[in-house]
């Protein structure tokens, strides 16, 4: 049976993922890892969840903890701890603050759970994936960022709603940056097995509107309810389930590239990958059209620049 540790378990994403995992019959223990000042809240979450689990006759061990030794034996460690954006702060500011948090945890994971797969959701997630990769010293195949999988689910929803077709018929993905430079891979989108470019001859789709809606999806939710919650939590759980069950599904995840896609190297970006019990089994080669390649290279350039600045600031701090 599987042990998963959620770092940042008292946050919106952390608590939702924890509860979803606790209900999965493949998971035997979830560590609700928190900072010492949040330990009481983590305990409260666990008591509340135990009540719900009892109602469904589910036995899963929930371990609230701020002790790194409780990371031992974890198969997967999710880092979802991060400082919230304050007024006047931009994404770059957040990158420098969150890099310290992610780097500190990744070092402890390497020490206490050297066999674990690390999943990162803390934003900006593509930069944080590289920071976790650097700090853990793990193989890049074991350090995975979750961002574009959520964007891909949103794109799937968009097509399903627009065309009034069951979402299971939509095969599409968003790659690149989990942010402004995301690249919807429309050239390889299929609906019911039919390539989109043939499908939309019958149905008019506004591609510009698709991209705009997708880019604003997170902010639209935040502006209405304060935080994104179920979408990210279920996207993350999807990924964790794929890893645990060793099902070799192709999901879009951020990982440190070494020239596999568009010759991009030395930066983490979202790309399609086959996931298995030890992380990334294979990076899936893809063909992009000129527009998609240009956008992907722009994402690489921007994220690499920010990543290098963040790496430099971490070195200066040490």
Residue (73 or 84) nearer to ligand NAD, CB: 84
Question: Is 8 annotated to bind ligand?
Answer: yes
Question: Is 140 annotated to bind ligand?
Answer: no
Q: 80 in helix, strand or coil?
A: coil
Min dist CB 203 to ligand NAD, Å, is: 29
Q: By Cβ distance, which residue is nearest to ligand NAD? A: 11
Min dist CB 127 to ligand NAD, Å, is: 11
Question: Is 173 annotated to bind ligand?
Answer: no
Contacts of 139 (CB under 8 A, 6+ apart): 279
Q: 259 in helix, strand or coil?
A: coil
Catalytic status, residue 149: no
**Residue 200: is the preceding peptide bond cis (ω within 30°)?**
no
Min dist CB 257 to ligand NAD, Å, is: 18
CA separation (Å) from 230 to 2, 56, 158, 237, 301?
23, 20, 17, 10, 31
Min dist CB 175 to ligand NAD, Å, is: 14
Task: Map tokens 């931009």 to a residue.
Answer: 90
Question: Is 12 annotated to bind ligand?
Answer: yes
Residue (67 or 289) nearer to ligand NAD, CB: 67
Distance CA 109, CA 104 (A): 9
Min dist CB 97 to ligand NAD, Å, is: 8
Residue (83 or 89) nearer to ligand NAD, CB: 83
Residue (58 or 211) nearer to ligand NAD, CB: 211
Q: Which of 149, 171, 178, 248 is catalytic?
A: 178
Residue (84 or 192) nearer to ligand NAD, CB: 84
- Whether 105 and 138 have beta carbons less than 8 Å apart is answered as no
Contacts of 288 (CB under 8 A, 6+ apart): 183, 185, 187, 262, 296
Min dist CB 279 to ligand NAD, Å, is: 17
Question: Is 10 annotated to bind ligand?
Answer: yes
Q: What residue ranges bind ligand NAD (CB under 6 A)?
A: 8, 10-14, 35, 38, 80-84, 101, 121-123, 125, 146-147, 150, 178, 227-228, 232
Question: Is 14 annotated to bind ligand?
Answer: yes
- Whether 118 and 89 have beta carbons less than 8 Å apart is answered as no
Residue (178 or 191) nearer to ligand NAD, CB: 178
Ordered DSSP codes for 129-162: HHHHHHHH---GGGEEE-SHHHHHHHHHHHHHHH
Instruction: Tell me which DSSP letter residue 6 carries.
Output: E
Q: 285 in helix, strand or coil?
A: coil
Nearest by Cα to 52 from 31, 75, 13, 22: 22
CA separation (Å) from 309 to 15, 96, 148, 270?
31, 9, 23, 20
Question: Is 85 annotated to bind ligand?
Answer: yes
Would you please indicate which residues are annotated as catalytic (active-site) residues? 178
């Amino acid at each position: 049976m599987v042990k998963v540790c959620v770092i940042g378990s008292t946050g919106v994403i952390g608590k939702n993922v924890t509860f979803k995992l606790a209900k999965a019959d493949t998971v035997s223990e979830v560590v609700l890892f928190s900072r010492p000042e949040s330990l009481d809240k983590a305990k409260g979450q666990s008591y509340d969840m135990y009540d719900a689990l009892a109602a469904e006759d589910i036995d899963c061990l929930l371990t609230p903890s701020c002790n790194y030794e409780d990371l031992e034996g974890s198969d997967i460690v999710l880092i979802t701890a991060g400082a919230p954006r304050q007024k006047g702060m931009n994404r770059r500011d957040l990158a420098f603050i969150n890099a310290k948090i992610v780097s500190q945890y990744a070092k402890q994971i390497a020490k206490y759970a050297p066999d674990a797969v690390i999943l990162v959701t803390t934003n900006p997630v593509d930069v944080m994936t590289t920071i976790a990769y650097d700090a853990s010293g793990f193989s890049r195949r074991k350090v995975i960022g979750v961002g574009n999988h959520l964007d891909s689910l949103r794109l799937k929803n968009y097509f399903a709603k627009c065309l009034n077709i069951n979402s299971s018929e939509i095969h599409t993905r968003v790659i690149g940056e989990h942010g402004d430079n995301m690249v919807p891979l429309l050239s390889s989108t299929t609906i019911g097995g039919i390539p989109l470019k043939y499908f939309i001859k019958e149905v008019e789709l506004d591609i510009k509107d698709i991209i705009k809606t997708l880019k604003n999806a997170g902010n639209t939710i935040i502006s209405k309810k304060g935080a994104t919650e179920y979408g990210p939590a279920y996207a993350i759980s999807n990924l964790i389930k794929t890893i645990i069950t060793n099902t070799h599904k192709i999901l879009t995840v951020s990982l440190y590239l070494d020239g596999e896609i568009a010759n991009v190297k030395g930066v983490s970006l979202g790309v399609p990958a086959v996931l298995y019990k030890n992380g990334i089994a294979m990076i899936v080669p893809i063909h992009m059209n000129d527009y998609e390649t240009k956008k992907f290279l722009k994402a690489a350039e921007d994220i690499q620049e920010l990543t290098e600045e963040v790496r430099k600031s971490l070195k200066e701090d040490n």
